[in-house]
Amino acid sequence: MGLIFISITSFDMKIVLAQQNYHIGNFESNTAKIISAIRTAKEEGADLIVFSELAVCGYPPRDFLEFNDFVERGLQCIKEICAEADTIGVLVGAPSINPKVEGKDLFNSAYLLYEKEIKGVVHKTLLPNYDIFDEYRYFEPAYEWNILHFKGKKLAVTICEDIWNLGDNPLYRVCPMDALIQQSPDIMINLSASPFDYVHAAGRKSIVKQNVAKYKLPMIYCNTIGSQTEIVFDGGSLVMNAQQDIITELPYFKEAMQMVTFKDDGTFEEPVTLTADKVPLVQLLPQQFEANHGIDQIHQAIILSIRDYFGKMGFKKAIVASSGGIDSAVVLALACEALGAENVRGLLLPSQFSTGHSVSDAEQLSKNLDSAYNIVPIKDIFESFSHSLQPVFNDLPFNVAEENLQSRIRGALVMALANKFNLILLNTSNKSELATGYGTLYGDMAGGLGVLGDLYKGQVYALARYINRNGGIIPTNIIDKAPSAELRPGQKDSDSLPEYDVLDPILFQYIERRKGPKEIIAMGYDEKLVTRILKLVNTNEYKRNQFCPIIRVSPKAFGIGRRVPIVGKYLS
């Protein structure tokens, strides 16, 4: 595409950020949403509207990109959007085709549309290939870098990861802005799809600040929001002036549009909302486990994720196996908040080992939430199974086989209700349990979505207290009592695992901070304890490999972002 030069001697440009929630592959919905925002921006007199990375198809599209029809539909949507870009410029993300035979077939691109034409296309250079990202599988990196000219302004347009290398990242040899700055741009604009974790919002602000500081230019940063299965996008789009002050920051976990006026002298008409000294310069993962860190944002992320998972999949109602314990209580409360209590059912499945207060606590929780529940005792079923197995078990002592049998009975019953009433089972396993294998395959590990699978037990308690911040939703006894699976008389979790306040910090060092055993022991932890815990983590990878999608809220979650061999020998 040729560059378009429009000469205007003095011009203040009104720019709109459109922070939207897209649905992967739902081209009709995404395009309608984009066009609606364009029309609103035109009514407000905007000159340019900016959308997020791969807005047309949704992010991350993954192997859908291997379907020619998928790519063609995206290109057709660009034509539809282009028809709306008459008196307004539109910067929008979508795949584009690589015309060269060499390399991958596609680019991850940003289109500049204006006067019902494609005025320019910019390709993403830095294709992340770590954690949850796998872009180099699909896209060819950009090999040339040019600014876009629009209404007398020179725009340095980049896409997401392109701003995360400031020349000091050994993963990348190229820094796109180093090339673009040679062309004397007036402003930087970044189209992003940057996922949530409980430290990443600060990280994004810091990286925008570092870019502004290095290139002495203002930046418009447009992020997406919404949940795509396990990945949550939290928004937080922002505008930063050349002095590193934030002019505006869009809300988190909500769709929003905001217009700013970029003046001809390189400043913004709008006042500063956050001064540079209050903008973080670095992203810091806590050195030690902090159960309360970012708990308010974690709460919002999980609510959005449950709501989007059901909405985008066309599901209506959920079921939770409610035990009277902390994990199921938190999941039930979150589900009611996300979906409405009328769309959530609790199923209480007491055995002869269940304490009376567990049943009464679970009942009280459902009453507090005004949510329906049923009680189906499993004692008779368990005894029937045990009787049938007796000739094979041959009077061997009660052990984990009978414990897991109870869990699998519960799994079968809750799935029966899910099938009968068209419900989706929300799993209640937490990260501490998943890490150590403290769960039963085809029993309590069943479910369509792992709500707490990226929260350590200590974080689950912190989230329960946060849910109760305005009143006693979760009964106090559920929060205060010692955790137990109640699969045998007097059982406590601590019979099988270290106390959670000991376990969680070691798991955090190994999983989030990727510390090896010697490093963790050097921090003062007992060698035998560390060896035992890390062996549990590694030998139970086969269980996690069969687990449902987990809502990602940390920098390192189980699932697509953590790929370790099931049969690996390391630490085993």
The pLDDT tens digits for 151-169 are: 999 999 999 999 998 866 6
Evaluate whether 104 touches 98 at the Cβ level (below 8 Å). Answer: yes
As a whole number, mean pLDDT of residues 273-289 equals 89
pLDDT of residue 243: 98
Phi, psi (degrees; rounded to nearest 5) at 118? -85, 110
Please compute the mean of the pLDDT values over residues 505-510 and round it to a whole number: 97
pLDDT of 5 reads 40
Lowest-confidence pick of 134-138, 277-281, 373-377: 277-281
State mean pLDDT over 11-33: 97
Q: What is the pLDDT of residue 168?
A: 66
Q: Under a CB-based contact definition with an 8 Å cutoff, are residues 533 and 571 in contact?
A: no
Contact assessment for residue 300 and residue 198, using Cβ atoms and an 8 Å cutoff: no
- Cβ atoms < 10 Å from Cβ of 568: 11
Q: State how beta strands 187-191 and 48-50 pair.
A: unpaired
pLDDT tens, 297-341? 999 999 999 999 999 999 999 999 999 999 999 999 999 999 999
Strands 246-249 and 238-240: antiparallel
Question: Is 80 exceeded by the pLDDT of residue 193?
Answer: yes
SS3 category, 242: coil
How high is the pLDDT of residue 171?
60
User: What is the pLDDT averaged over residues 13-22?
Assistant: 98
How far is the C-alpha of 510 from the C-alpha of 518, rounded, in Å? 11
Domain at 13-278, CATH from 3.90.550.10, 3.90.850.10, 3.30.2270.10, 3.60.110.10? 3.60.110.10
Total residue length of the chain: 572
pLDDT at 3: 43
Which of 559, 516, 510 shows the shortest CA–CA distance to 537? 510
Closest CA to 346 of 356, 327, 355, 463: 327
Count of C-beta atoms within a 10 Å radius of residue 98: 17
User: Domain residue spans in the chain?
Assistant: 13-278, 295-493
* The amino acid at 353: F
Type of residue found at 253? F
Task: Report CA torsion sign: 462, 467, 469, 473.
Answer: negative
Name the residue among 325, 497, 346, 319 with its Cα closest to residue 425.
319
Residue 166's pLDDT is what? 83
Residues designated catalytic = 53, 124, 160
The three-point CA angle 344-25-192 to 5° equals 95
Give me the helices (H) in 422-561, please.
431-436, 457-467, 476-480, 500-511, 517-522, 527-539, 541-544
pLDDT tens per residue, range 47-94: 999 999 999 999 999 999 999 999 999 999 999 999 999 999 999 999
Query: In whole angstroms, what separates CA 356 from the centre of its chain?
Result: 38
Give the DSSP H/E element, type plus range, for residue 189.
Answer: strand 187-191
100, 132 in Cβ contact below 8 A?
no
pLDDT of residue 172: 64
Token representation of residue 503: 């376990």
CATH of 295-493, one of 3.40.50.620, 1.20.1260.10, 2.40.10.340, 1.10.3720.10: 3.40.50.620
- Look up tokens 């089972």; give the residue: 425
pLDDT for 471 equals 87
What would the mean pLDDT of 390-408 be, rounded to a whole number? 94
Q: Taking residues 440-458, report their average pLDDT.
A: 97
- For position 9, what pLDDT does the model report? 45
Range list of β-strands (E), 398-534: 423-427, 449-450
